[in-house]
Amino acid sequence: MLISLRINNFALIDHLDLELSPGLNVFTGETGAGKSIILDALDATLGGKVDRRVIRTGTKRAILEATFELNSSLAKWLGNQEIDPVDGTLVVCSREITCAQTSLRTRSRLNGILVNRKIMDQLRDRLLEITAQGQTLQLGNPNLQREWLDLYGSYPLVQCREAVSIAYQKAQKAKAALENRRQSEQERLQRIDLLEYQVQELDKSNLTEPQELEQLTQESQRLSHAVELQHQSYQIYQALYQNEGDNSAAADLLGEAETILNDMVNYDSTLQPVLEIISEALSQVVEASRQISSYGEELEADPQRLQDVEERIQELKQICRKYGPTLEEAINYYYKIQAELKELQDGGESVEALEKVYLETQKQLQDKCSELSLKRHSAAAKLETHLVEELKPLAMEKVKFQVQITPTTPTITGADQITFCFSPNPGEPLQPLNSIASGGEMSRFLLALKACFSQIEGSGTLVFDEIDVGVSGRVAAAISEKLHQLSRKHQVLCVTHQPIVAAMADNHFNVSKQVVEEIPNQNSEVRTIVRVKNLNNYQRREELAQLASGRPAQEAIAFAESLLTEAATKRRQNLTVPISSSGGES
């Protein structure tokens, strides 16, 4: 239940503290007085859409705050959000709307804790339901009618619809997998052909060593210059160890130096390190001579081996051009396509297997849709009876109503086309609601529908914005009684121009516009502001007279007094007559 609403700098409202009570709270006033602004502010507090125009001219920030009394389910929901109630029984919803140079920023809080839009939307559904007279234009929307029927069917139907949604998504996923596989099958086979050719080619190349090309290049150079290398190695051998010419070999010269140093060391031991160096050098020269001699003796021309090496080099270079550019990269590519080919050849699930899965998911979807349709037919039968009973007191005693359920292609919401069919007059056939009902009939139909829903678990506060537009006399009286009956189970807020409706109020507020100076007595700019006044019994009589005739004449005052007296009697009667408890499935 809404306990209080605080509004600062919203539209024409500079500051407003509004306290509300249980029962039927009615707002009256001249057209354009600002009654709907109050409801707009309440809607905005709970996350409704806003734009820059909602901020009062001359200010940069609007602040809205609504305080609600908790019930057990709402307290449990707050606990799940890890938000503690205020004083153990209240939830305070606030919203700050700030106008920047190029944008509009809003921040919402629950009990002082910043929350996102999703949280506010969830809370809104638990706190409030706003019904505007303009909603009657949506009554003919088949999608909205389906939502209403499912809501009336309560938890079992909603749970079944969720199962349909899951089955539909599985069927769509299976269908997409099948279509993708069919589309990619040709590409897959073409890719397999290409990879098989490449793997076969690389298999023949016997690629194992990333350095093979470099090693073969070196071997090719050696084989190509074998004679020259033999001659040069012999020249080195002669220079190091055994020179057949007039010049001494390096080993001879080092041997001679070693002999002289041996003699010198006998006289000067400090030359011992030099002697060791010469001796080591001589040993290394002798070893080098031996190795170069062996190299030259083992080296020989091998034309066949040279040809084989050259052919292998060309083969590897060709592989590198196609799969490289380096041999190492070509080998890595070989390993990669082997794995890809294996995966493609495995092929995952076949088209036949995917078709089987798709057909199974379609069958499951059909079964869930059939189950949902049965529950909708059951809920429809109950709604038909319940709604007619709610319409009869609204001066529609002979009305006929039927929920037409037509099979359609399965969707995420089931396989039913829902159409509300309506006949307000005896002898007239049932026709779709939006093609036959007048504005007044639409208003009564919407009110009766809300009455049906009010007996299912729903919002704590129901808001009606000029739901009685387009009706008068006996129908207006019937609507006033229906609103009061609703207020016995829910707090009801109602904006009205009907004195008969206003007379039934438990709490009556007058909304008016006033023109004031920003700073009194200083010739400051004048501004228009909205004021709300909670009327006492005398003021209510004056207000009802004003609504009835436009002026508080004696006849209008007498009429207003009669309305209040009659309303008091009806309210007492409503307290003793139990409300029908029929509703949707529990």
List the one residue out of 571, 514, 564 whose CA is nearest residue 539: 564
> pLDDT by residue (tens digit) across 230-258?
788 888 878 888 776 667 788 888 888 88
Q: Are residues 18 and 118 in the same domain?
A: yes
Residue 64: inside a domain:
yes
Q: What is the pLDDT of residue 581?
A: 35
Euclidean distance between CA atoms 130 and 583, whole angstroms: 21
State the Cα–Cα distance between residues 466 and 133, nearest whole angstrom: 6
Q: Could you give phi then psi for residue 339, rounded to 5 degrees?
A: -65, -40
11 and 122 housed in the same domain: yes
Domain CATH number, residue 114: 3.40.50.300
Mean pLDDT for the stretch of residues 293-301: 78
Q: Examine the fold and report which residue of 286, 310, 325 is the final residue of a domain before the chain moves on.
A: 325
The answer, yes or no, to whether residue 306 has pLDDT greater than 60, is yes
Question: What are 182-208's pLDDT values in tens digits?
Answer: 777 777 888 889 988 999 888 888 888
Whether residue 401 is predicted with pLDDT greater than 50 in this model: the reply is yes
Residues 220 and 128 in one domain: no
Query: What is the per-residue pLDDT across 48-69, written as a single tens digit (0 to 9) for each?
Result: 888 888 898 888 899 999 999 8
Q: Which residue has the tokens 């208003």?
A: 443
Q: Could you tell me the CA-to-CA distances from 537 to 32, 454, 557 in Å, in that order?
A: 24, 29, 12
Q: Which residues pair with 129 in a beta bridge?
A: 462
Q: What is the pLDDT of residues 539-548, one digit of tens each?
A: 888 888 888 7
Looking at the domain assignment, is residue 525 inside a domain? yes
Contacts of 327 (CB under 8 A, 6+ apart): 207, 210, 211, 212, 213, 316, 319, 320
Q: For residues 132 and 227, state if they share a domain.
A: no
If one compares 132 and 391, the residue with the highest pLDDT of the two is: 391
Q: Which amino acid is at 533?
A: K
For residues 558 and 453, state if they share a domain: yes
- Residue 166, in any domain of the structure: no
Q: pLDDT band for position 583 (50/70/90)?
A: very low
Q: How far apart are CA 106 and CA 567, in angstroms?
A: 43
470: pLDDT strictly greater than 80: no
Q: Give the tokens for residue 186.
A: 């040709």
Tokens of 316: 């590897």
So what's the pLDDT on residue 286? 87
Question: For residue range 556-566, what is the model confidence (pLDDT) as tens digits?
Answer: 777 777 778 77
Count of structural domains within the chain? 2
User: Of 277, 293, 325, which residue sits at a domain end?
Assistant: 325
pTM: 0.61
Domain of 302, in residue numbers: 211-325
Residue 225 exposure: Cα atoms within 13 Å on the Cβ side? 10
Q: DSSP code of 470?
A: T
Which stretch of DSSP H or E encloses residue 359?
helix 351-391
Residue where one domain finishes, among candidates 265, 295, 325: 325
**Same domain, residue pair 570 and 449:** yes
The answer as to whether 168 is a domain residue is no
> H or E segment at 556?
helix 554-576
Contacts of 112 (CB under 8 A, 6+ apart): 92
* Residue 9 burial (CB count, 10 A): 19
Domain check: are 226 and 117 in the same one? Answer: no
| Residue 125 near residue 459 (C-beta atoms within 8 A) | yes
Identify the band that residue 297 occupies on the pLDDT scale cut at 50, 70 and 90.
confident
- pLDDT classification of 577: cutoffs 50, 70, 90: very low
27 sits in which H/E element: strand 24-28
Q: Give the CA distances from residue 230 to residues 223, 234, 250, 514, in Å, rounded to whole numbers and listed in that order.
A: 11, 6, 20, 119
Q: List for the chain the helix, strand, coil content (%; round to 5).
A: 60, 20, 25
State residue 585's pLDDT score: 35
29: left (phi over 0), alpha (psi -120 to 50) or beta: left
> What is the model's pLDDT at position 551?
64
Same-domain pairing of 104 and 222: no
The answer to whether residues 563 and 463 belong to one domain is yes
User: What integer pLDDT is reported at residue 247 of this predicted model?
Assistant: 76
- Domain identity same for 135 and 216: no
Q: Which residue in the block uniquely carries the two structure tokens 């319940």?
A: 386
Confidence of residue 280 (pLDDT cuts 50, 70, 90): very high
Q: How confident is the model at residue 571 (pLDDT cuts 50, 70, 90)?
A: confident
Residue 301 lies in a domain: yes
134 and 220 share one domain: no
Is 362 a residue whose pLDDT tops 90?
yes
Q: What is the pLDDT of residue 217?
A: 85
CB contact at 8 A, 42 and 50 = no
Strand 461-465 relative to strand 491-495, pairing: parallel
Lowest mean pLDDT among 304-318, 445-459, 471-485: 445-459
pLDDT score of 19: 92
In a domain, 199, yes or no: no
Q: Does 263 map to a domain?
A: yes
Q: Is 566 helix (H, G, I), strand (E, B) or coil?
A: helix
Peptide bond into 273 cis (omega under 30): no
Would residue 553 count as lying in a domain? yes
Q: Examine the domain organization and report whether 442 and 567 are in the same domain.
A: yes
Average pLDDT of the residues in 124-135: 73
Return the sign of the alpha-carbon dihedral for residues 273, 274, 280, 283. negative
